[in-house]
Structure 1
Amino acid sequence: MPLHPDIAKALAAMPAPPPGPLDPVAMRAAEEAHVPPVAERLPLHAVEDATARTAAGEVPVRIYTPADAAAYGLLVYFHGGAFFLGSLETHDHVARSLAKETGLRVISVGYRRAPEHAFPAGLQDCYGVVRWAAEQGGSLAWDGTTLAVAGDSSGGTFAAAVAAMAYDDGFDRISHQVMYYPSLDLDLDVDRYPSLRENAVGYGLETAGLKPFNAFYLGSGADPADPLVSPIKRADLAGLPPALIVTGEYDPMRDEGELYGRRLEEAGVAARVSRYPGAGHGFVQHFSWIPDYHRAFEETAAFLRGAS
């Protein structure tokens, strides 16, 4: 199908980016300026800020409790933003929707971002919070069963990398991994995947923008050949948790996510790849108010319940 008309309308109304190099501070401020006040956000039983004390240091987290219960499954969520944008605030609505639709207690991670913090600081924060969640299971009322990791875009990169780190460490508590249009191959050669050319222009995120957006992360010491930077480069995917990979029809990064899903299946991992028609990159963050795309949260809930 063509690009969803509501997405096309929103893209047409977007102002052209300012000339010159990307300015992380200005771009973050612009993102934060669009965050709605708390009174206008999806209500939940409880939302609280906390600090996770991890092997990587103290990491700010926000904990979303969907309803009053004696125990909960847990979902640790890593926001997107090309490793230098995004925050607990800009992705607050995503975490709230995840909590509401899944019924899980969601822990959103305020990890350290590039370029101020060199690789692997942000990844270590994410992994540390997952370990902290398991270790603090009593205070989080964890039911001891579901401990999922999820992320969108670069947060999906972290979700895949954290699952691999846990496996290599013998930490077997992660039950599921969920990736929304993940960035899984930071070798940005435009001939690597057909979608990089097919969806290069006109769908929001453009292929020409991938290098400058990822430059802050790669310039901080992240090597695209490292499987913790480009999870698709991991030689053996066997033993990783069951995966849901959500892609957008018009996303330049569509093909790497779908290839990763096929490679997981070939390695014996239960993996579901779900392509959303009419969508470009970022639709879970920016367009989940459209029922067709809010369905990604419902699909996540079904996946975490084990429904087919």
Structure 2
Amino acid sequence: MPLHPEIAKFLATLPPAPEGPLDPVAMRAAEEAHVPAVEDRLPLHAVADLTAHTACGDVPVRVYTPTAADRHGVLVYFHGGAFFLGSLDTHDHVARSLAKETGLKVVSVGYRRAPEAAFPAGLDDCLAVTRWAAEQGASLGWDGVTLGVAGDSSGAGFAAAVAARAHDEGFDRITHQILYYPSLDLDFDEDRYPSLRENAVGYGLETAGLKPFNAFYLDSGADPADPLASPIKREDLNGLPQALVVTAEFDPMRDEGELYGRRLQDAGVPATVSRYEGAGHGFVQHFSWIPEFHRVFAETRDFLSRH
């Protein structure tokens, strides 16, 4: 099917990309300028900004509690943004929708970003907060059963890397990984995946933009051959948490996500791969108000409840 008309209409209004090097400070400010006022956000039982005291230091988190129940499953969420954009605020609406639709308590992580923080600082923060959520289970109101990790785009790459690294370190409390159009391969050779050519131009995120957008992370020390930076490079996927991998039809990174899902299945990991037709990269963040795409939160709920 074609690109969803609402997405196509929005893309038609965008000016040409500016020439020259990317300015992370200006780009972050532009993102933050579109964050709605608190009173205009989806209401929940409670939303609290906390500090997670971890082995990596203090990490800001925002905890979303959907109901007044004493105990909830917990979903630790890592926002996207090519490892240098995104924040607790820019993805606040995603975390709120996840909490409301799944009934889980969502812990959104304000991890350190490139270029100010070198690899693997952001990943370290994400894993440390996941451990913190389990360690603080009683005070956090965790039910002691469900502890998922989730993310979109680069945040989904973090989620996959956290799940793998936790497994290697013997931390076996993670029960689910939820990857929305994940960034899993930082080798951007256009011949690696057909979607890099099929969806190269005209759908928002363009293949030519992958290298410059991820350059801050790569220049900070992330090696595309390292499975912690490119989780699809991991050879042994046995024993990883069950996964929901969501991809978008018109995303240059579609095929790496779907390949990762198939590799998980081949390794005996229960994995659901779900492609959203008519969608482009970033649809959970930018277009989840469209009913066809908002159902991603219900699909996430159903995945969590089935497993």
TM range (shorter): over 0.9
1:269 corresponds to? 269
What's 1:103 paired with?
Answer: 103
RMSD: 0.6
For residues 162 and 53 of structure 2, the distance between their equivalents in structure 1, rounded to whole angstroms, comes to: 17
Match of 2:230 in 1: 230
In the other structure, the counterpart of 2:52 is 52
> Which digits, 9 at most, give the CA deviation of each residue in 1:240-299, with x for residues without a partner?
000000000000000000000000000000000000000010000000000000011110
* Counterpart secondary structure, 1:244: strand
Query: Tell me, what secondary structure is at the counterpart of 1:53?
Result: strand
Structure 1 spans left out of the alignment, 5+ residues: none
CA distance in 2, matches of 1:227, 1:19: 32
1-side partners of 2:33 and 2:148: how far apart? Answer: 30
Question: 1:17: how far off?
Answer: 2.2
Match of 1:303 in 2: 303
Counterpart of 2:247 in 1: which secondary structure?
strand
Report the AA paired with residue 199 of structure 2: N
Counterpart for residue 83 of structure 2: 83
How many angstroms apart in 2 are the aligned matches of 1:36 and 1:279?
A: 23
Secondary structure of the residue aligned to 1:51 is strand
Q: Give, as a single letter, the amino acid of the residue that structure 1 aligns with 2:190.
A: V
Amino acid at match of 1:293: F
**Superposition deviation, residue 15 in structure 1:** 1.9
1:88-119 Cα shifts (integer Å, max 9, x gaps): 00000000000000000000000000000000
Tell me what 2:184 maps to: 184
Counterpart mapping for 1:32-71 below 5 A: 32-71=32-71
The code of the aligned residue for 1:247 comes to: T
After TM superposition, the score normalised by the length of structure 2 is: 0.99
Q: Render the CA deviation track for 1:32-60: whole Å, top value 9, x for unaligned.
A: 00000001000000001000011111000
Query: 1:255 aligns to what?
Result: 255
Residue 6 of structure 1 is matched in structure 2 by 6
What secondary structure, in the 3-state scheme, does the structure 1 residue paired with 2:137 have?
Answer: coil
Q: Aligned partners of 2:55, 2:226: CA distance in 1, in Å?
A: 22
Which residue matches 2:21? Answer: 21
Structure 2 unaligned residues grouped into runs of 5+: none
CA drift at 1:68:
0.3
Give the Cα separation in 2 of the matches to 1:277 and 1:253.
14
Task: Give the TM-score normalised by the residue count of structure 1.
Answer: 0.99
> Take 1:80 and 1:86, find their aligned partners in 2: how far apart are those partners?
6
Partners of 1:143 and 1:41 in 2: how far apart?
A: 27
Matched pairs, number: 307
Aligned to 2:244: 244
Tell me the distance in 1 between the aligned counterparts of 2:17 and 2:29.
Answer: 14
Separation in structure 1 between the aligned mates of residue 218 and residue 270 of structure 2, nearest angstrom: 31
Distance 1:66 1:10 in 2: 31
2:120 alignment partner in structure 1: 120
Give identity over the alignment, percent. 79
